Chain A
Amino acid sequence: MSDLALSVSSAFTGTNTGFPSASGFKQARIMSARSLRWTLRNLDGLVPSLTMPVALMLIFTYLFGGAIRTGATNYVTYVAPGILLLCASYGSSFTAVAVCQDMTGGIIDRFRSMDVHGTALLTGHVLASVARNAVSTILAFLVAFAIGFRPSAGPLEWLGVIGVMLLFVLTVTWLAAAIGMFTKSPESAGAVGFILMFVPYASSAFVPIDTMPRWLRGFANNQPVTSVLESLRGLLLSGPVAPHIWAALAWCGGILIVSVSISGLAFRIRTAQ
């Protein structure tokens, strides 16, 4: 223990060159690995984000499905894309907790004194969220297949599905990151992030919108989740895609730009007092 200090090279004293930190790209890679480990070890987040796709898919299909009329398609076909989005927004909301934990704990001071970029830190969280959601989305698809979901998408449509899901996850994750920047404690970040999970309920995810009260239809028809959802349905089930996908791109693009800018701004505000 006592020679801990002696292991610090004595050659550097008096020099002004110092030790440059890792490049931005390397920093982002290290931060991504860090966030991934966090994801795998934070069981409070990992267990629900893996069990939820399975549980919701079964609950909606077998418990509620019998009571819900969705026209010609069977209910699992109708509801599967909605559950995918619900799980993706839930999985992405953990980014709020992770970002808030970093910002309120002492580690942000260490990172900044080491000249680590805020962008590298956030990139790490976002990439970890994409990886986390890829796993839970694949899991949800597998369960859906097992209980009778038969999409008719060709290879090109599947690429489209992956693209839309990726865009949606990125959008919600950056929104969660912005929320995590502003909340005072990881607990409240979790609570605010939880709200993100309820947005899909007021869309065409679980029931057709024309079964909702009139005052809710305007919101449900025009909110971002509905456009993303109808794009997914169109791609998976060979339905109409064109109007929905443009709305989805516009919504997600807009929210993404705003969230990224707000996160960057919030990082600068919180770290420059």
Chain B
Amino acid sequence: MSNDLAVEVIGLEKSYGKVEVLAGIDLRIPRGTLFALLGPNGAGKSTMVRILATLVSPGGGQARVAGFDVVRERHQVRRNISLTGQYAAVDELHTGAENLSMMGQLSGLSRAQARRRTTELLARSDLTEAGRRRVSTYSGGMRRRLDLAASLVVPRSVMFLDEPTTGLDLPSRQTMWQVIKDLTASGVTVFLTTQYLEEADQLADQICVVNNGRIVAEGTPAELKAGVSGQRLDLEFPDRMAFERATRLLGARLIRSDLSSLTLKVATDGGAAQIRALLDEVDPQRRDVLRFSTHAAALDDVFLALTGHAPELRPDTEPANV
């Protein structure tokens, strides 16, 4: 395994009873980058984070974080990571300062060190005043900031942020974005999960779109946009053999394949020359593609189409017969 990877995941699987939550995930995240796992509710994002943060054991496959195996070397993993969960993990009846000081001491700081670090973190989180109050009086945004500060009490090389902005209003969300950007600038590897395409687009060096426990697309924001924005070409096949032949041929260029309707969706620039070339490539004998249609695809549509949480096709173009 390579040492310049902060996270390396091979064939990761997890099921709860008969429900398959993760169905063979592969990931390679270089150190010092910001990685976004993007997907709708129930896609398996939190399970992924919980496995990588050593809270849940994987059902199958392997995962290494900061160079250590998440099962066999989980104690070493824990020394190198921090986790900010979906729900603020702080004590309601304690003040902000008490929370940070406690987390600092649990992380191995002395009382004096923890106190210094607390003052510093509160100041930098805009919570100096609020730090003397109990968390039960905090707003949602303040709680998240305190929660994130609690993850920063000691240096960690990999930080997991599980939906850090879900439920926040726009100003709070933008504040969090700035903090997350600064984190990566300081050299930390950030593993972020989000339901928002815009968030992944704003922050991430690398995005992975998951749905139903599978990776449906991955790349840099620019690659994803290039791959999916502009036009989408839908190809309908007469039978399963033709469908599978084309699936193998197109490989990574596919946005989505739908076996039940024998339809493949491919990114294109919408130009006649490219569509003609693509059709020739997929179907040189001119008998495999039953019909094709092109559709304008916006970025949001693409995410939604990828994850199957949107109207299937936008009826903005008529199907054309070959």
A residues bordering B, Cβ < 8 Å? 1-22, 26-27, 30, 33-34, 37-38, 41-42, 105-107, 109-116, 271-273
Tally chain B residues at the interface, Cβ within 8 Å. Answer: 62
Q: Are B108 and A20 in contact (CB under 8 A)?
A: yes
Q: Tell me the minimal C-beta distance from B68 to chain A in angstroms.
A: 8
Contact B106 A114 (CB under 8 A): yes
A–B complex contacts, Cβ < 8 Å, 30 sampled:
A1-B126, A1-B145, A1-B175, A1-B178, A2-B182, A3-B124, A4-B179, A5-B183, A5-B186, A6-B182, A7-B121, A8-B183, A8-B188, A10-B186, A15-B157, A16-B68, A16-B76, A16-B80, A18-B80, A21-B107, A22-B105, A33-B102, A38-B91, A41-B134, A42-B93, A105-B87, A106-B85, A106-B86, A109-B89, A114-B107
A112 x B76 contact (CB < 8 A): no
Question: CB-CB < 8 A to B81: which residues of A?
Answer: 113
Residues of A within 8 A of B187 (CB): 10, 13
Q: How far is the CB of B100 from chain A (nearest CB, A)?
A: 12
A21–B188 CB distance below 8 A: no
Number of A-B contacts (CB under 8 A): 153
Contact B80 A26 (CB under 8 A): no
**A113 and B54 contact, Cβ closer than 8 Å, known pairs A2-B178, A5-B188:** yes
B residues with CB within 8 A of A: 16, 31-32, 50, 53-57, 66-68, 75-76, 78-83, 85-91, 93-94, 98, 102-103, 105-108, 120-121, 124-126, 134, 145, 148-150, 152, 154-157, 175, 178-179, 181-188
Contact B79 A18 (CB under 8 A): yes
Q: Which residues of A contact B154 (CB under 8 A)?
A: 19
Task: Assess the B79–A22 pair: CB atoms within 8 A.
Answer: no
Quick one: which of A15, A37, A110, A273 contacts B56, CB cutoff 8 A? A273
The answer on a CB contact under 8 Å between A41 and B89 is: no
Do A22 and B186 contact each other (CB < 8 Å), given the known contacts A1-B124, A7-B124, A37-B94?
A: no
Closest to A115 in B: B78
> In chain B, what residue has the closest Cβ to A5?
B182
Cβ contact within 8 Å between B120 and A7: yes
A16-B80, A19-B155 given; A107·B107 CB < 8 A: no
Smallest CB separation, B94 vs chain A (Å): 6
Contact with B85, one of A8, A9, A33, A109 (Cβ below 8 angstroms): A109
Q: Which residue of B lies closest to A111 (CB)?
A: B106
Q: Is the CB of B85 within 8 A of A19?
A: no
> Measured between C-beta atoms, what is the minimum distance from A156 to chain B in Å?
40
Taking the closest CB of chain B, its distance from the CB of A34, in whole angstroms, is 6
Distance in angstroms from A72 CB to nearest chain B CB is 48
Q: How far is it, in angstroms, between the C-alpha of A16 and the C-alpha of B68 when the chains are bound? A: 9
CB of B234, distance to nearest CB on chain A (Å): 40
| Min C-beta distance of B318 to chain A, whole Å | 50
